[in-house]
Structure 1
Amino acid sequence: MAKNDEWLDAVERQVRAHADAPAFEAADGQKMTYGELWAASDRIAAAVAARTDGREPVVVLGHKSALMCAGFLGCLKSGHAFVPVDVEMPPSRLADIMSQLGDPLVLTTVPVPAPLAAALPPARVLDARTVVASSHPVAAPDRGTWVTGDQTQYLIFTSGSTGRPKGIEVSARNVACFMAWVRTFPVIAEG
C-alpha cells in the first residue's frame, strides 16, 4: 500500500489481485469476497447517484455487515460522504442527526425496526438489499466522481459534552494517513 493510498484505491487493488479472497467475514459465518464487495458497491453507487444531486452526505443505516461496507464504498464511488448509523440507535437520536443533515438519502442495509422507520422520510429511503439483488445491468459512476483528497469521506456523529449528536468530518486524506499508520503495526498482516 502506498503511503497516501486512499481507501477506494486500496480496495480496488485487492479486488484486482484477490477477487476471490474474503473481504468480510462475520462470526456468524457471513462472508463476502472482494469481487462480490466491489460488484455490490458498483450497484449501490449507481443507485445512489441516480437518487442524489451534488455531494451531500448519505446516511448508511445498518449493523456490522458486508452490505454496510458495500454501502460505504458505494457512497464514496458516487461522490458522497457516508454517515454510518447503527440500526439500534434510539429514534430521537436518528431524528436529530437527520435534522442536522437536511434531507439526506438514507441507504438501509437491514430491515428497519418500526420505531426507527418512523424517523425516516419514506421518499428518501433506498434499500441496499433490493439494489444489490437486482439483475439489471448497471454502470458504476465514473472514477472522476470518487471521493478523494480533502473531500469528506465520512461524518461520524458523537455526543460530545452537550449530549447532542455533533457531526465530525473526516476527509479521504485523513483516512489514507490513518491507513498508512495502522499498517505499521506488527499485528496487521497482508491479506
Structure 2
Amino acid sequence: LVVGTQRLSYAQLDARANQLAHHLRSQGVGPEVRVAVLMERNADLVTSLLAILKAGGTYVPLDPAYPRQRLDFTLADSGARFLLSHQSLLASLKLDTQGVETRCLDALPEGVSALPTSAPATSVSEESLAYVIYTSGSTGRPKGVAISHASATTFLDWALSTFSPAQLKGTLAATSVCFDLSIFELFAPLACGGAV
C-alpha cells in the first residue's frame, strides 16, 4: 500500500488490520453489524475496510467530500452501529452521530497495538453482508445497496481472471470509496500481490 511517502508491506497492512479487527470484535462488531467509515484517502482507510471485513462486520463507506446532509442521511439510514473516523475530520464535518458509537483511529486505546497480529476467528457466511454502498437512487434519494460476500467474491474472481497480476501490480485507487469500482481498485491488486 503506497500513500504519498508512506509505504506498508503486506505483512504490515495485515498486522494493522488484524489488530484493529480484534479491537472491533471486542466492541461487538461481527456478522451483520454495520460500521460506517469516514476517512480521507489514506492508509487508515484501507486498514479500516480490511479490519471490518476481518471482524466479520459490514462496512458502509462515507466520502468526506460529500455534502453533510448526504453523510447524515447515509449514516442514519444505513443502521450503522459504529463510525470509524479521525478526530479532526469529525470535528470539521459536525455530523449527526446520535445513536452511533464513534471510534477515532487517532484516539484508540493504547492496548490496540498489543493485540494479536493474526486474524480473529469469525463466523461469516457467503450470504453475510460485506458492504453497503449508497447510490444516488432513481428518485434522487440515496438508496443503500447491500452486497454479500458471495457477490463481492464473484466480482473479484472476475477481475482476477480478466486482468493479469502484471496489469494489477500498481493500481491507482482514484474512485470514491462510495462507488463499487473502489472494490476493484482496492481489493483486486491486494488479492494478487499488487500495490495500491
Coarse TM-score class (shorter-chain normalised): 0.7 to 0.9
Higher RCO (C-alpha under 8 Å, 6+ residues apart): 1
- Aligned residue in 2 for 1:70: 47
- Aligned residue in 2 for 1:144: 122
- Aligned residue in 2 for 1:47: 23
Structure 1 residue identity aligned to 2:120: D
Q: Is contact 1:43–1:138 with CA below 8 Å preserved after alignment?
A: yes
TM-score, length of structure 2 as denominator length? 0.72
- Aligned residue in 2 for 1:188: 168
> Deviation at 1:103?
5.2
- Aligned residue in 2 for 1:36: 12
Matches within 5 A, 1:74-153: 74-102=51-79, 104-109=81-86, 111-114=88-91, 116-121=93-98, 124-131=101-108, 136-139=113-116, 142-145=120-123, 147-153=124-130
Structure 2 residue identity aligned to 1:154: Y
- CA deviation profile, 1:42-101 (whole Å, cap 9, x unmatched): 222122222236532100111222211110111111111101111222111111112212
**Relative to 1, partners in 2 of residues 1:144 and 1:53: Cα closer, same or farther, differing over 3 Å?**
closer
> Deviation at 1:164?
1.6
Number of residue pairs aligned between Structure 1 and Structure 2: 166
- CA deviation profile, 1:152-179 (whole Å, cap 9, x unmatched): 1111111121222211111111121111
Give RMSD over aligned pairs.
2.6
Q: Is contact 1:63–1:110 with CA below 8 Å preserved after alignment?
A: no
Structure 2 unpaired stretches of 5+: 170-191
Structure 2 residue identity aligned to 1:130: A
SS of 1:99 mapped into structure 2: helix
* Dislocated runs of 4+, deviation >4 Å: 132-136
Moved more, 178-187 or 115-124: 115-124
> Deviation at 1:138?
1.4
Structure 1 unpaired stretches of 5+: 1-23
**Relative to 1, partners in 2 of residues 1:157 and 1:123: Cα closer, same or farther, differing over 3 Å?**
closer
- CA deviation profile, 1:105-137 (whole Å, cap 9, x unmatched): 001157315352332249711012333975652
State percent identity of aligned pairs: 26
- Aligned residue in 2 for 1:172: 149
